[in-house]
Amino acid sequence: MNSTSALEQLAEIELQKEEEEDEDQSCVTDGPSTNSCSSDPSHPYYDVARHGIVQVCGDDKFGRKLIVFSSCCLPPSHQLNHRRLLEYLKFTLDQYVEMDYILVYFHHGLRSGNKPSLKWLREAYAEFDRKYKKNMKTLFVVHPTNFIRIVWNIFKPLISHKFGKKLIYVNYLTELREHLNYEQLIIPADVLRHDEKLRLAQKGGPAPSVKTPPPRPPLPTQQFGVSLQYLREKNMEAIIPLVLSQTVTYLKEKGLNTEGIFRRSARVQIIKDVQKLYNLGKPVDFNEFNDVHVAAVILKTFLRELPEPLLTFNVYTHIQDFLNVESSLRVSRCRQLMEDLPEHNFIVAKYLLSFLYTVSQQSVENRMSPSNLSCVFGVNLLRPPHGSLSLSSLTPINMFTEILIQHFPSVFGSRCPPRPDHPLTLTTQPLPRTKHCFLPIL
């Protein structure tokens, strides 16, 4: 028996031992994904997609797409064509392979009865050529076991040193918070329960989560990670936040015809540097970067880091039953929810959605239809007040956001927000109390 065969046998033994040690043999998940792809029987890979094994769930902190593979969602092998699974994985990645992306692999739930063969893994690695591997910036393996480490040793001769450096083992879900926008992750319930079980099983070891000191008070010039109210109090001359105004102005001028705008990332260090400039109150000139994706990522980052999302926690609670609203009434329901926003949120939301509506009008060139834009911005405009987004919440979020963009004139009225090169200014008089009525001085 050669060394590879011995390792394969050892891997099988380890997997069986892990199954025996796990008291809960069953895989309990939230059920099949309810996103638009997996719930549509006309989808070319509906037979695979309906299980929710592969999910695309927003961006990380630097605008890179998050793609999740959940082993616990794999059905028994006789119920799934693994060749089709490989084709579906490539089909999903092909939509994002031209940009940087992050792959999160939830290992828990892999069993002897549902795991693809090692031959399948070899074929998968061979078929994912350089275009897939180059732009995958990190592979997070969550809840690794001895089985994973043995399999890694089997594949080590095939894997380049550069690709190997992208692998990061994550023992507890809390560790992902250091790297990703955790709230956007789609985490099956079975994985959450397993993580809790591991944490409770710790005996005398350090807690998996590291205590952090209380956050420092924000700088007077802080732009990221502070509320709309804070920004307005510190800069009484502008209702539209500086970051939003400047990125929209630049993107309207330079980015409307850029294919894949908002779907591609930018260099992480550049994004960090731009955020630092903004937070220190220093000027930012996006023309210096010669890359429209820098401004696009900064815009998404600003929205994502608001302590309360732009469309508020209250709206999130109302749209969870959005699918139950009759199609003919959805636009009016959206209008009602927008009118109920706090006045400042309404003004800023109208400004942003007007811009996204303009972007969608150029979708022939930029490939960003209202549907595509909703997938990008939905999770940045709405999120629950506690915990992470669930599988079932994504569909109403995206549908709601798509209607806001596609039917912007009907939802927000015929009056458009002021041009971004003439930001709203305030007089010393308070805003008129008429609901969502304001008098800009241009």
Can you give the pLDDT at residue 147?
82
**Is 217 part of any domain?**
no
Can you give the pLDDT at residue 286?
97
**Is 391 part of any domain?**
yes
Q: Are 77 and 196 in the same domain?
A: yes
Can you give the pLDDT at residue 4?
53
Which is it for the CA torsion 362, 364, 367, 371, positive or negative?
A: positive
Can you give the pLDDT at residue 394?
80
Q: Are 346 and 234 in the same domain?
A: yes
CATH number for the domain harbouring residue 378: 1.10.555.10
83-131 residue pLDDT tens: 999 999 888 888 777 778 899 999 999 888 888 888 888 888 788 777 7
Can you give the pLDDT at residue 58?
72
Task: Report the alpha-carbon distance of residue 293 to residue 63 in Å, rounded.
Answer: 9
Q: Are 154 and 234 in the same domain?
A: no
Can you give the pLDDT at residue 439?
35
Task: Report the alpha-carbon distance of residue 147 to residue 405 in Å, rounded.
Answer: 47
Q: Are 182 and 232 in the same domain?
A: no
Q: Are 370 and 286 in the same domain?
A: yes
pLDDT, averaged per 10 consecutive residues of the chain (442 residues), comes to 55 61 45 44 85 84 85 92 91 79 92 85 80 84 87 75 86 88 85 91 57 70 93 84 97 94 85 94 95 94 94 92 91 94 95 97 94 90 80 84 96 59 38 41 30
Q: Are 260 and 367 in the same domain?
A: yes
- In the β-sheet with 65-70, what is the strand arrangement from edge to edge? 54-59, 65-70, 101-106, 136-142, 167-170
Can you give the pLDDT at residue 66?
87
Angstrom distances, CA of residue 402 to CA of 85, 211, 291, 376, 391: 29, 39, 26, 10, 18
Can you give the pLDDT at residue 164?
80
Closest among 173, 197, 175 to 187, alpha carbons compared: 173
Closest among 156, 123, 107 to 4, alpha carbons compared: 156
Structural domain count of the chain: 2
pTM value is: 0.66
Q: Are 169 and 244 in the same domain?
A: no
Q: Are 23 and 133 in the same domain?
A: yes
**Is 431 part of any domain?**
no
User: What is the span of the domain harbouring residue 319?
Assistant: 228-412
CATH number for the domain harbouring residue 70: 3.40.525.10
Q: Are 259 and 181 in the same domain?
A: no
Report residue 45 as tokens: 């890979």
Q: Are 291 and 165 in the same domain?
A: no
